[in-house]
Structure 1
Amino acid sequence: MYKNLRLWLLGGLMLAAASCKTDDEVVVPTKYGTGFLMVSEGNYGKNAGDLNYYDYNRDTVLPYVYSAENPGKTLGPNTSTMEFGTIYNNKIYLVGKYGAPFVVLDASTLKETNRIDALPGDDGRAFVGIDETRGLLSTSTGVFPVNLTNLTLGAAVSGVTGEVTDMFRSGNHIFLLSIKDGIVVLNANDYSIAKKLGTAVSGFVQSQDGNVWAASKTQLKKINASSLAVDSITTNFPVYFNEFTYNSSSMVASPAENAIYIISGANKVYKYLPGQASSLNTPFITLPAGQYFYGKGIWFDRIRNILVLNSNTNMYGADINNQLYLYSATSGALLHSSTYKGYFFPGMILN
């Protein structure tokens, strides 16, 4: 089965090389052209965060590829934690907490091109790109405009105070996940507040029908991306969130069908088909016994139409044995699993 899987994955990679990129697609670095990059939090007090790389063809994880491409540089002191990574306009943006920097890499080479060492509150959360020259950085003390030309921060966005984690842009709106105010929506042109939509603990993804999704502890929030109207769908399970980690929330959407995937508890994934309440009744995937999600825990490979799940045998990630599981996003069938060893504390796969 794995031999066939490798051929299928290679075919998907060739298709990816020939297809056009949209803003939310993953750009595969040319030197690391048969897999994906994972943000490693680092081993607190011993090693700073880094990037690890999983190669589908070799079924192996190459550790510390940021350090390999940037000799003498680190992603912060060993008392910081690198948590978040995303790819925007052929650049990789990395954000961390506890004194970690805001770092920009060339997505083709992984070479560092710029950084901001001292962030507001000394505590970063996430980054979202707005256009060719603008982005936003969320922190423990609010949200700050980023000049992408020279990587400088502007004054805090007015009306948004306190900790903000996830951010997502859709059309003329930017969705923020505020600890104090829940879902806050900004106008993309001037960062003014368009609307506040209520409590949430997780977000954001956009389903094939154009709706933006977030979640409270027991409800999914379907948000019309234009009108900002909200419908609440009660789940039959608790929505997973971790208030102490600041990687992207543990939910993903499929570009191939109108479906979203949400982690519940430490070991379950639900697949919700909008409008089909019964799809919330039964887990789509349950991790093998003794495995627990760590960090974001889930990633959608848009080219191959598979879910990649990241787990550890210790609920806090403190075991040397890390696991990757590859599941069909259509059927939920397990396609392959791979073990890699090290105290990496994997935060998330780059989106």
Structure 2
Amino acid sequence: MKKYFGFLVAIALSAGFISCSDNEEDSNKIPVLQDDAPSAVVPANGFYIANEDWFGHDNGTVNYFKNDGTIVYRAYRAANAGETFGVTTQYATIWGEYAYFVSKQGNRLVVADAETLKKKAVFTDLGGDGRAFTGVDDKIGYISLSNGICQFNITELKLGARVEGISEQIGTMCYANGNLYAVSPSKVYIIDVATNSVKQTLTGSFNTLTQSKDGTIWIAASDKFIKLNPVTLETEDMPYPENVTVGSSWGAWNAGSLCASTQKNVLYWTKLSGSGWSAVAKTIVKYDIDSKSFNANLFELGLDEDGKQQVFYGAGIRINPLTDEIIVTSRRTGYGDSYSYNWVYKLTADGQELSKVFLLGDNGLGAEWGEANGQPDWDNRYYWFPSIPFFEDANKPEILTNQILLSPGETKTIDLIEKIIDADNISVSVIRKVEFVENDLVTYSLKDNVLTVTAKEKVGSTECKMIAISNGKKIEKKVRVDVTLDK
């Protein structure tokens, strides 16, 4: 019996030693981490429309259109007692943590908190009258002026250096692949942001520009589109579909109607009828870049309740980056009090009307003023002169990669277009960077958003830092890099 008991103890101890050995081996194994799935898209709470407002009577304003149908008129003033924009606010955008409002005179640049609209900075002197603002990354933006371009230091909320060699009026701008593209009536400037200097110039007659989902810069010349590849800087001319031109933004400058979807590879603009100061637009057109198909009558403004024709005003249209809906600003055609009849439409990407609201707001003048000036229903309308719709940035960029796992000598490629994303930005506009800690395990390269990592002939672990900057917001993430024989 004793011998039998001793035999059982020996077996048990032996099993214990084996179990301990297995646990020790398991504890030394490198864990395999799956990549994250994209988060659920966060909807915006609403959208904004900046207004030139009533020149000679008031400064620029901004109205906020909530998803529940509520309209907050003069939202910046509501958040900042006694504060106003400048004269003729013509451009607005949200970039990073701030909203930027650019006016032609007075408070030419107003910077506000993107969520609360609380004032952060005001600039009356930009060295010229304001036109537009475009962000580059989380630290630098650019302001176009009546006589050139200047940098803006986002970190310190200070004006930066001007771009030398540019002294004419600059309108719309966009940023791609290290370059700022800026349009004037006679030139398109390609500016190297790293050196803040002009690297190349296109000459001709130009109106505006935009960037499509595939990354192409679409330059609207007076008689054609010029497609510019932001990687190679090669250009290709394309006739306007059915000769429907993109109208001029000059004279009394505005941002223009040409815009692009972030969800699909399509362009939108408005079709002008008439010429000169009498030219108006009442039709939206749509060009599908991939199929090369053109809809010359996607949506047409009709008559208002009094039988008067509606037309677009200001930029006229912009595309919601999350919903792909078209936001439309319209007014009654004609002059005088026709400008006090204003509507905002929300359309599907196919031009179907989702909603229409009539804008109120009497600026405090009220019915008494209306009676005295022959406008008894004055307290139901106002001369808004809408300039441009713009949108909240509801979603931050996301880095989905958690681990890079290799065998000794193995090379792996990772498409960061798929692994670093942002729900409300076109993918090619997201800035992606990778930084490796100093190590003797791997070599790497990053080109055209493709990360290539090659393991050396040894095992071990290190890490890299992935960086994403999108719509001015920056995030960072540490990612494991493991070289192992047990994959």
Q: TM-score, normalised by structure 1?
A: 0.84
Query: Distance between the aligned counterparts of 2:224 and 2:323, measured in 1?
Result: 29
Please report the RMSD computed on the Cα atoms of aligned residues, expressed in angstroms: 2.1
Contact 2:271 2:284 in 1 (8 A): yes
Aligned-pair CA distance for 1:118: 1.7
1:201 maps to which residue?
Answer: 206
Contact 2:179 2:193 in 1 (8 A): yes
2:343 is the counterpart of 1:323: yes
Contact 2:107 2:123 in 1 (8 A): no
State the identity %. 29
* C-alpha distance after superposition, 1:168-217 (max 9, x if no partner): 101211100123x4211111211222211233533332212221112112
Contact 1:218 1:237 in 2 (8 A): no
- 2:294 match: secondary structure: helix
Contact 1:205 1:252 in 2 (8 A): yes
- Which amino acid counterpart does residue 42 of structure 2 have in structure 1? A
Contact 1:324 1:337 in 2 (8 A): yes
1:46 to 41, 44, 57: 57
- Which amino acid counterpart does residue 187 of structure 2 have in structure 1? G
Q: Report which stretch shifted further, 37-46 or 316-325.
A: 316-325
Structure having the higher Rg:
2
* C-alpha distance after superposition, 1:100-149 (max 9, x if no partner): 4211000111101111122213x111111122222211111111121223
Aligned-pair CA distance for 1:99: 2.8
Contact 1:85 1:92 in 2 (8 A): yes
Query: Distance between the aligned counterparts of 1:190 and 1:318, measured in 2?
Result: 48
1:75 maps to which residue?
Answer: 85
- Which amino acid counterpart does residue 349 of structure 1 have in structure 2? P
Query: Distance between the aligned counterparts of 2:320 and 2:157, measured in 1?
Result: 29
1:293 maps to which residue?
Answer: 312
Aligned positions of 1:141-180 closer than 5 A: 141-179=147-185
- 1:279 match: secondary structure: strand
- 2:166 match: secondary structure: coil
Contact 2:184 2:207 in 1 (8 A): no
- Which amino acid counterpart does residue 105 of structure 1 have in structure 2? A
Aligned-pair CA distance for 1:50: 1.1
Query: Distance between the aligned counterparts of 1:278 and 1:65, measured in 2?
Result: 40
Alignment coverage as a number of residue pairs:
316
1:128 maps to which residue?
Answer: 134
- Which amino acid counterpart does residue 353 of structure 2 have in structure 1? L
2:73 is the counterpart of 1:63: yes
Aligned positions of 1:181-330 closer than 5 A: 181-235=186-240, 236-265=243-272, 266-274=281-289, 276-279=291-294, 282-289=296-303, 290-314=309-333, 318-329=338-349
Query: Distance between the aligned counterparts of 1:168 and 1:15, measured in 2?
Result: 28
2:449 maps to which residue?
Answer: none
Query: Distance between the aligned counterparts of 2:262 and 2:125, measured in 1?
Result: 37
Q: Report which stretch shifted further, 129-138 or 109-118.
A: 129-138
Aligned-pair CA distance for 1:88: 0.7
Query: Distance between the aligned counterparts of 1:277 and 1:16, measured in 2?
Result: 30
Q: TM-score, normalised by structure 2?
A: 0.61
Query: Distance between the aligned counterparts of 1:188 and 1:119, measured in 2?
Result: 19
Aligned-pair CA distance for 1:227: 1.3
